[in-house]
Amino acid sequence: MKKALLFSFVLMLALVTQVWAQTRTVTGRVTDASTGEGMPGVTVQLKGTSTAAPTDVNGAYSINVPNAGGTLVFSFLGYSNQEINIGSKSVVDVKLGQNTETINEVVVVGYGTKTREDLSSSVAVVGAKEIESKPVPSVDQLLQGRAAGVQVTAANGKPGANAYIRIRGTGSINAGNQPLLVVNNVQIPDNMRDQFFNSINANDIESISVLKDAAAASIYGARGSNGVVVITTKSGAKSEGTLTYRFQTGVNRKTPDNFDMMNSAQKLQYEYDLGFTNPYINTYFAANRGTYPVGTTITSLTPAQRETVWGVIAAQDHDWQDDILQDGKIQQHELSFGGSTGKTSYYFSLQKFDQEGIVIGNEFNRYSSTLNISTEIKPWLTVGNSLNIGHTKSNETRDRNNVQNPFRAMYVYNPYEPVFNANGTYNPTHQGVNIIQYMQTEPELQKNLTGLNAFNVDVHPIDGLHLTSRIGLTLRDYTRESFSQPGGALDPIVGDPAAPGSKTDNGSKEFYYSWTNQARYDFSLAQDHNIGVMALQEFQKSDFSSYSLQKKGFASADLTTQDNGASNLGNNTTSKSIWTLYSLAGSAEYNFQRRYFLTGSIRRDGSSRFGENNKYGTFWSTSASWLMSQESFLQGYDWLTLLKLRASIGTVGNFSGISNYQSLGLYSFGRYGGALTSFPSQIANPDLTWESKLKRNVGLDMEFFKSRVALSLDYYNEYTDDLLLDQPVSRTTGFASVTRNIGAISNKGLEASLNVDILRTADFTWSFNGNITYNRNRVEELNEGQEEIVDANTGINVYRPGHAYSTFKLVRWAGVDPATGEAQFYNKNGEITKTYLASDAVVLDGKSSNPDYYGGFGTSLKYKGVDLSAQVNYTVGGYTYNGIMATLVSWGPSRAQNLSTDAFNYWRQPGDNTFLPKASASNTTRTTDQYLQDASFLRLRNVTLGYTVPASLINKIKVKSLRVYVQGQNLLTYIPNYFGDPEVGTGSAESGLFIPGQYSLYSYPTTRQFTFGLDLSF
DSSP for 14-56? HHHHHHHHTEEEEEEEEEETTT--B-TT-EEEETTSS-EEE--
Contact (Cβ atoms closer than 8 angstroms) between residue 619 and residue 583:
no
**Residue 584 shares a structural domain with residue 500:** yes
Closest CA to 585 of 646, 654, 516: 516
Residue 44 sits in a domain of what CATH number? 2.60.40.1120
Greater model confidence, 761 or 616: 616
Tell me: do 706 and 757 sit in the same domain.
Answer: yes
Tell me the C-alpha distance between 414 and 276, whole Å: 14
User: DSSP readout, 909-972?
Assistant: STT---SB----TT-----BGGGEEE--EEEEEEEEEEEEPPHHHHGGGT--EEEEEEEEEEEE
Residue 710 within any structural domain of the chain: yes
Asked if residue 567 is part of any domain, the answer here is yes
Answer yes or no: do 546 and 627 share one domain. yes
- Do both 472 and 598 map to the same domain? yes
Contact 750, 773 (CB under 8 A): yes
pLDDT of residue 11: 37
Arithmetic mean of pLDDT over the chain:
91
Query: Quick one: pLDDT band at residue 22, thresholds 50, 70, 90?
Result: low
pLDDT at site 952 = 84
**How deeply is 7 buried, as exposed, middle or buried, from its count of CB atoms within 10 A (0-12, 13-18, 19+)?**
exposed
Confidence of residue 658 (pLDDT cuts 50, 70, 90): confident
Single-letter amino acid, residue 460: H
Cβ pair 813, 837 in contact under 8 A: no
Residues 377 and 299 in one domain: no
Residue 251 within any structural domain of the chain: no
Residues 533 and 595 in one domain: yes
Helix or strand run (H / E) with residue 607: strand 596-607
* Residue 464 · residue 523 · CB < 8 Å: yes
Q: Which domain holds residue 813?
A: 328-726+737-941+971-1000
Task: Give 579's pLDDT tier (boundaries 50, 70, 90).
Answer: very high
Q: Are residues 306 and 375 in the same domain?
A: no
With 80 as the cut, is the pLDDT of residue 8 above it? Answer: no
Work out whether the CA dihedral 836, 842, 848, 853 comes out positive or negative. Answer: negative
Lowest mean pLDDT among 19-28, 166-175, 780-789, 849-858: 19-28
Cα–Cα distance for residue pair 93/451, rounded to 1 Å: 46
- Residue 187 falls within a domain, yes or no? no
* Same domain for 344 and 281: no
Taking residues 728-748, what's their average pLDDT? 89
- Which sign does the torsion angle of CA 871, 877, 883, 885 carry? positive
Q: What is the pLDDT of residues 220-279, one digit of tens each?
A: 999 999 999 999 999 877 667 889 999 999 999 999 999 999 999 999 999 999 999 999
Residue 3 pLDDT: 45
Residue where one domain finishes, among candidates 96, 127, 143: 96
Q: Residue 649 belongs to a domain with what CATH number?
A: 2.40.170.20
Q: Looking at residue 79, what DSSP letter applies? A: B
Gyration radius from the chain CA atoms: 33
Which residues are paired to 364 by β-bridges? 355, 394
- Is the pLDDT at 6 greater than 50? The verdict is no
Q: What is the pLDDT of residue 77?
A: 55
Residue 898: inside a domain, yes or no? Answer: yes
Percent of the chain residues past pLDDT 70, beyond the cut: 96
Residues 890, 924: Cα–Cα separation, whole Å: 9
Question: Which helix (H) or strand (E) segment is 321 a member of?
Answer: helix 320-324
- Give the Cα separation of 297 and 275 in Å (integer): 8
**Nearest by Cα to 276 from 1010, 935, 967, 898:** 898
Residues 630 and 665 in one domain: yes
pLDDT tens, 486-515?
999 988 888 899 999 999 999 999 999 999
Integer CA distances (angstroms), 971 to 354, 486, 616, in order: 21, 42, 50
Query: Residue 937 domain-assigned?
Result: yes
pLDDT digits (tens, 9 = 90+) for 392-401: 999 999 898 9
Could you tell me the pLDDT band of residue 543, with boundaries at 50, 70 and 90? very high
CA dist 434 and 406 (Å) reads 9
Indicate whether 214 pLDDT > 70. yes
Strand 444-459 and strand 381-395: the pairing is: antiparallel
Q: What is the mean pLDDT of residues 46-60?
A: 75
Q: How far apart are CA 114 and CA 223, in angstroms?
A: 22
- The 3-class secondary structure across 563-600, one letter per residue, is HHCCEECCCCEEEEEEEEEEEEEEEEEEEECCCEEEEE
The secondary structure of 608-647 as a DSSP string is TTS-GGG-EEEEEEEEEEEEGGGSGGGTT-TTEEEEEEEE
Same domain, 453 and 569: yes
Confidence of residue 960 (pLDDT cuts 50, 70, 90): confident
Among the ranges given (475-479, 688-692, 933-937), the one the predictor scored with the smallest mean pLDDT: 688-692
CA distance 269 to 309: 12
Cα–Cα dist 797/795, whole Å: 6
Dihedral angle of Cα 430, 433, 439, 445, to the nearest 10 degrees:
-130
Give the residue among 262, 212, 107, 60 at the shortest CA–CA distance from 905: 262
Mean pLDDT of 707-728: 94
Report the percentage of the chain scoring pLDDT > 90.
76
b/e for 375-395, b at 16 or more Cβ within 10 A? Answer: bbeeeeebbbebbbbbbbbbb
Query: Distances in Å between the alpha carbon of 833 and those of 107, 537, 658, 909, 915?
Result: 61, 66, 45, 20, 17
Coil, strand or helix at 761? coil
Among residues 288, 316, 344, the one where a domain terminates is 316
Neighbours of 854 (CB within 10 A): 27
What would the mean pLDDT of 4-17 be, rounded to a whole number? 37
pLDDT on residue 79: 66
- Residue 749's closest CA among 719, 777, 781, 727? 777
Task: Let me know if residue 452 belongs to a domain.
Answer: yes
Nearest CA among 105, 110, 106, 104 for reference residue 214: 110
Q: Residue 9's pLDDT band (boundaries 50, 70, 90)?
A: very low
What's the mean pLDDT in 767-774?
97
What are 537's strand-pairing partners?
Answer: 517, 584
- The reply to whether 496 falls in a domain is yes
> Which tens digits make up the pLDDT trace of 313-345?
999 999 999 999 999 999 999 999 998 888 899
Q: Give every CB contact of residue 7 below 8 A, 6+ residues apart in sequence.
A: none
DSSP 8-state assignment for residue 214: H
Whether residues 300 and 376 fall in one domain = no
Distances (CA, A) of 195 to 474, 543, 913: 12, 17, 51
Domain count of the chain? 3
**The domain boundary residue, chosen from 67, 96, 125:** 96
Length of the chain: 1018
The C-alpha atoms of residue 382 and residue 374 are separated, in whole angstroms, by 7
Say whether both 289 and 365 belong to one domain. no
Three-state DSSP class for residue 240: coil
pLDDT band at residue 892, thresholds of 50, 70 and 90? confident
Q: Which amino acid is at 845?
A: D
Please write the tens of the pLDDT for every residue from 584-641.
999 999 999 989 999 999 999 999 999 999 999 999 999 999 999 989 899 889 899 9
Alpha helices (runs of H) in 835-937, residue ranges in sequence order: 883-888
Torsion of CA 995, 996, 997, 1003, to 10 degrees: 90
Reported as a single tens digit per residue, the pLDDT across 897-930 is: 999 999 999 999 999 999 999 988 888 889 999 9
State how far the Cα of 943 lies from the Cα of 974, in Å rounded to an integer.
Answer: 16
Residues 350-388: pLDDT tens digits? 999 999 999 988 999 999 999 999 999 999 999 999 999
Q: What are the residue ranges of helices labelled H in 489-576?
A: 491-494
